[in-house]
């Protein structure tokens, strides 16, 4: 079992920054992917960014490229999502997830999910 806990959400003005954290506890493997997804009211959950505990490639959805950065601290079992130049359309509940996935940009295959953290960007 793996437990994920997100933190760092909040209210920020457009153009501001936030850093989300996702702390993992339990059994994790270097092959696991760590992903960030978000869900806005009335919309489906969408992929934001992903990486692997073992390093290697990172993945971003087009709308956040150049603004968001995913990183990890293996010693702390924590993955971060640095979000800069935030826009009102980034407003959503952000979830982290982990699992053995071959396509980290797809929610299918992620076995464990956090409870989510709210990010609200005011215009």
pLDDT of residue 62: 97
> How far from 70 is each of 16, 56, 113, CA to CA, in Å?
17, 12, 17
Rounded Cα distance, 94 and 81, in Å? 10
Higher pLDDT, residue 60 or 1: 60
At residue 90, the 3 state secondary structure works out as helix
- Segment 32-38 shows an average pLDDT of 95
Q: Are strands 10-13 and 117-122 parallel, antiparallel or unpaired?
A: parallel
pLDDT digits (tens, 9 = 90+) for 59-114: 999 999 999 999 999 889 999 999 999 999 999 999 999 998 889 999 988 999 99
Please, what is the Cα angle at 90 between 34 and 96, to 5 degrees? 20
The residue assigned the tokens 């490639």 is 57
């Amino acid at each position: 079992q793996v437990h994920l806990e997100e933190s760092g959400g909040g209210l920020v003005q457009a153009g501001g920054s936030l850093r989300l954290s996702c702390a993992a506890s339990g059994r994790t493997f270097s092959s696991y992917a760590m992903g960030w997804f978000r869900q806005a009211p009335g919309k489906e959950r969408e992929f934001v960014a992903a990486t692997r505990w073992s390093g290697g490639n990172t993945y971003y959805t087009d709308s956040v490229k150049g603004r968001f950065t995913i990183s990890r601290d293996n010693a702390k079992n924590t993955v971060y999502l640095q979000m800069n130049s935030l826009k009102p359309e980034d407003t959503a509940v952000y979830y982290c997830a982990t699992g053995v996935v071959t396509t980290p940009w797809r929610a299918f295959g992620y076995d464990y999910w956090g409870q989510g953290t709210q990010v609200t960007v005011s215009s």
